[in-house]
Amino acid sequence: MQPSSEPFWFTTKSPSPSPQLTTNIKTDVLVIGGGMAGLSCAQRLIESGRQVTLIEQDFCGSGASGKSSGFITPDSEIELSSLIANYGPIKAKRLWEFVLSGVDLIRHNIEHYQIACDYQLQDSLFIANSHRGQQHVTEENKARQNLGYQSTLYSKDSLNSIIGSAKFFSAVRYPQTFGINSYLYCQGLKDILVDAGLKVFEQTPALKIVDHLVTTPNGQIEAQKIIICADRWLPNLIPALKPEIYHVQTFLGITSPLTPTELKSIFPTDHLMVWDTSLIYNYFRITGDNRLLIGGGDLVYTYAKNQSNNTTRAAARLTHYLKTKFPHLNLTLTHVWPGLLGVTPDLLPILGTLPQNPHITYLSCATGLPWAAALGHLTAELIIEPSQSSALTANKTTELSSAELLNDFSPTRKFPLNPRLASVISTPLTFATSHVITKYL
Ligand SMILES: Cc1cc2nc3c(=O)[nH]c(=O)nc-3n(C[C@H](O)[C@H](O)[C@H](O)COP(=O)(O)OP(=O)(O)OC[C@H]3O[C@@H](n4cnc5c(N)ncnc54)[C@H](O)[C@@H]3O)c2cc1C
Q: 277-331, pLDDT tens digit by residue?
A: 987 899 999 999 999 999 998 778 889 888 877 889 999 999 999 999 999 999 9
Q: How much distance in Å is there from the Cα of 341 to the middle of ligand 1?
A: 6
- Mutating to test ligand 1, I would choose from 231, 249, 301 the residue with most ligand atoms within 8 A of its C-beta, which is 231
277 Cβ inside 6 Å of ligand 1: no
Ligand 1 atom nearest to 338, measured from its CA: 1
pTM, full prediction: 0.96
To test the ligand 1 pocket, which listed residue (99, 336, 341, 365) has its Cβ within 8 A of the most ligand atoms? 341
pLDDT reported for residue 311: 87
Give the ligand 1 atom nearest the CA of 186: 29
Q: Quick check: CB of 53 below 6 Å from ligand 1? A: no
Residue 395 pLDDT: 47
Write out the E strands in 297-426: 333-343, 350-354, 357-364, 390-391, 400-401
With 90 as the cut, is the pLDDT of residue 335 above it? yes
Q: Given this model, what pLDDT does residue 388 score?
A: 55
Shortest-distance atom of ligand 1 to CA 252: 1
Ligand 1 nearest atom to the CA of residue 234, by list position: 38
pLDDT of 392 over the 60 cut? no
Could you tell me the pLDDT band of residue 402, with boundaries at 50, 70 and 90?
confident
Going from the Cα of 222 to the center of ligand 1, the distance in angstroms, rounded, reads 25
Q: What angle do CA 33, 35, 38 make, to 5 degrees?
A: 55
Q: Name the band, by pLDDT with cuts 50, 70 and 90, for residue 133.
A: very high
Pocket of ligand 1 contains residue 57 by CB under 6 Å: yes
pLDDT at 85 over 70: yes
User: CA–CA distance from 349 to each of 57, 101, 381, 390 (Å)?
Assistant: 22, 15, 17, 17
CA dist., res. 11 & res. 416, Å (int): 40
SS3 342: strand
Distance (Å, whole) CA 363 – CA 405: 12
Mean pLDDT of 15-24: 96
Cβ–ligand 1 distance for 427 under 6 Å, the answer no
As a whole number, mean pLDDT of residues 48-66 equals 98
Position 231 pLDDT exceeds 80: yes
Going from the C-alpha of 287 to that of each of 62, 155, 166, the distances in angstroms are: 20, 26, 23
Q: Say whether 391 sits in a helix, a strand or coil.
A: strand
* Greater pLDDT, 1 or 225: 225
Where residue 389 falls among pLDDT bands split at 50, 70, 90?
A: low
- Tell me what the mean pLDDT of segment 241-265 comes to: 96
Secondary structure (DSSP) of 247-311:
EEEEEEEEESPPPHHHHHHH-SSS-EEEEESSSS-EEEEE-TTSPEEEEE--TTTTT-SS----H
Q: Is the pLDDT of residue 410 over 70?
A: yes
pLDDT at 234 over 80: yes
| Ligand 1 pocket, residue 52 CB under 6 Å | no
Count of other CB atoms within 10 angstroms of residue 221:
25
Atom 53 (ligand 1): residue with closest C-alpha?
A: 339
Residue 157 neighbours by CB under 8 Å, 6+ apart: none
> What's the pLDDT band for 401 if we cut at 50, 70, 90?
confident
Mean pLDDT of 3-13: 96
What mean pLDDT do residues 349-376 have? 96
Share of the chain above pLDDT 90, in %: 83
Average pLDDT of the residues in 100-123: 98
CA–centroid distance, 363 to ligand 1, in Å, is: 12
Residue 76 pLDDT level (bands cut at 50, 70, 90): confident
Does the Cβ of 376 fall within 6 Å of ligand 1? no
Confidence of residue 397 (pLDDT cuts 50, 70, 90): very low
Q: Is 430 in the pocket of ligand 1 (CB under 6 A)?
A: no
> Is the confidence at residue 226, as pLDDT, over 90?
yes
Per-residue pLDDT at 282:
96
Q: Is 438 near ligand 1, meaning CB less than 6 Å away?
A: no
Q: In degrees, to the nearest 5, what angle opens at C-alpha 280 toward C-alphas 78 and 323?
A: 125
- Whether residue 187 contacts residue 283, with contact meaning beta carbons closer than 8 Å, is answered with no
Range 160-167 average pLDDT: 96
Domain ranges of the chain: 8-67+183-242+347-418
Task: Measure the CA–CA gap between 52 and 198, rounded to whole angstroms.
Answer: 6
| Average pLDDT of every residue of the chain | 94
The CATH superfamily of 8-67+183-242+347-418 is FAD/NAD(P)-binding domain (3.50.50.60)
Going by alpha carbons, the residue nearest to atom 52 of ligand 1 is 68
Residue 200 has pLDDT above 70, yes or no: yes
As a whole number, mean pLDDT of residues 135-146 equals 96
Q: Is 404's C-beta closer than 6 angstroms to any atom of ligand 1?
A: no
The pLDDT score that the predictor gives to residue 154 is 98
